[in-house]
Amino acid sequence: MAYTSYPDRLKKTVEILQNYQDKIKAYYENITFKPYKIDIKNCLKKQEIEDTVRLLDLSFTTRQGGQNKTALAEYPNSQKRMKIKSIFNNLYNTNKNPKEKYYSSLRILMGINGIGQKIATMFLKFLVRYGDDSKHKKELEKELFIPLDIHVLRLMFTEIDKKRPNRLSLYKNKINQASLGYSFPKTKAIGDTKLFKIQKMIQDDFKELGIDESPIILDELWYIGTIYCRYKELEIGCKICPLEKICNKGK
């Protein structure tokens, strides 16, 4: 087996993140869903349009509250509702397998001006991981792409750029964030994009290593990055971070 990851570090990180799921779920509920008046269980389970529109608006922000005003301005509410209905139809289409459901939904979102990989994948993560409790949830979770923002990239890969040294080194790759692409090129299939190849690499590693968890759990590295890493200069964050023992601390 030829892993692209450092298997021991990857498995240990997943194990630690699993132990933090209740805390992370509570963080999202109190810091993101409640302020936007989103009943997350209404979104996919009940297909409630207004809650899901607010969830998409939430995805237009940084996860700390800053808004992508350009994207919001270019994506009116009428268009949001139409696309959300299409996504509901996709995810509940019994003629499609989980991969087809997810890719179709991703294409709908990333085909809209102003929506890139981070917004699309974060919205679908919230919708499926926190807004669904059906028997098909686990299968669909396995297909979720990780929203690759700067916190996640910096913790996962060996190098993004010289200004952002790695910390965890879960993967040997050097990643140029800009090369991920803003949207799926119309001339390419999803499987031909760099974004897909990175996500597929991670999904394959989870399968080969026998990790019984969706790769989407690595998105919780965002929580680690924003809660603990930003206090590195004061050495406060590192001392209390759950990943402290396996972290390179940027060196």
Give how far the C-alpha of residue 117 lies from the chain's centroid of Cα atoms, to the nearest Å: 9
Cα–Cα distance, 43 to 37 (Å, whole number) = 12
- How much is the pLDDT for 1? 46
Residue identified by tokens 């999202």 is 28
Domain residue spans in the chain? 7-16+146-246, 33-141
Which tens digit of pLDDT belongs to each residue from 12-41?
999 999 999 999 889 989 988 888 889 998
- How much is the pLDDT for 54? 86
Q: Is the pLDDT of residue 234 over 60?
A: no
Would you state the torsion angle of the CA atoms of residues 65, 69, 73, 74, taken in this order, to the nearest 10 degrees?
-100
- How much is the pLDDT for 79? 77
Cα–Cα distance, 84 to 90 (Å, whole number) = 10
Task: Specify whether the CB–CB gap between 133 and 42 falls below 8 A.
Answer: no
Residue 247 neighbours by CB distance under 10 Å: 22
Which tens digit of pLDDT belongs to each residue from 115-129?
778 888 999 999 999
SS3 category, 224: helix
Paired strand residues for 157: 171
Which strands make up the sheet holding 164-165, listed edge to edge?
A: 164-165, 157-161, 171-174
Which tens digit of pLDDT belongs to each residue from 37-60?
899 988 888 888 989 988 888 887
Cα–Cα distance, 91 to 166 (Å, whole number) = 36
pTM of the model: 0.88
